[in-house]
Amino acid sequence: MPSGCVNEYNFAMPTLLPQPYLSRLRQLLAAHAPDAEVWAYGSRVKGSANDTSDLDLVLRDPEDPTRPQKNLPRLTSEIADSTIPILVDVLDWARLPKGFRDEIRKAYVVISPTSHEAELIHGP
């Protein structure tokens, strides 16, 4: 497991989204970014979120992280039009400054493709 990847053993369990919304988000990711690895990061992963906090996501090409994501505008539009009850901010790893990528690497959860850590995420 990568050093910054959050799990139940080394960090407080994050609450990203209640399960039905997390499932819907994964459906949208599979439809619009099927080849991307998707990391959640920020306050919802670190355990410092409040009820109005957004969900921060970054999409990466697992084979070439420098390759930009092509369907980001469509994906963000579909998420905004969905029933997901919070703002979801989606960024492209390839377009982020190195310093920001380094911060994300400190604490993140892989939510797509589905991983063991993501299965442990649950809502209230």
Distance between CA atoms of residues 80 and 84, nearest Å = 8
For the annotated catalytic residues, the residue numbers are 54, 56
Which residues 6+ apart lie within 8 Å of 72 measured at CB? 33, 59, 90, 92
**Max intra-chain CA distance, the chain:** 36
71: closest CA among 40, 105, 28? 28
DSSP 95: G
Distance between CA atoms of residues 90 and 32, nearest Å: 12
d(CA 38, CA 47) in angstroms, rounded, equals 19
